[in-house]
Amino acid sequence: MPLVASLLCLVVAISDGDTLTARCGAPGAYQQVKVRIAAIDAPESRQAFGQKSRQHLAQLCFRQRATLQPVDEDSYGRMVAQVRCGGTDVATAQVRAGMAWVYTPYASGYPHLAPLQRSAQAQHAGLWSQKRPLAPWDYRHRHRH
């Protein structure tokens, strides 16, 4: 896979706990990019902790400079990227706080995330404070129209 240079961007919107919109490029030649954070899956907005997860990501990134390292494109045409806001790895921060699941099918390159998730579970942090947290992929499956 060819290495794409990191993009320096400004985060202009937060959709949910794992998706944001960033403005990248030179002034006057901005490109607005919708970015899905690699290796994590956050609760959907209508799910328990959906809004808290979004707010947590907003605290980390909204109106912050972000470094995007593109890794893929998803089925919706969004860039999938490793994202750092103000020096913080966003996937790590979301998982550590119990605001997102490690998305195992795409997390093989991120072995540090699983122990953070186990730690968040053990501490009942964030979404792990629920008796039976429902994974977002199961939630989406149940709520397809």
Q: Active-site residues: which are they?
A: 36, 44, 78
* Closest alpha carbon to 127 in 18, 47, 34, 12: 47
d(CA 65, CA 52): 22
d(CA 50, CA 33): 22
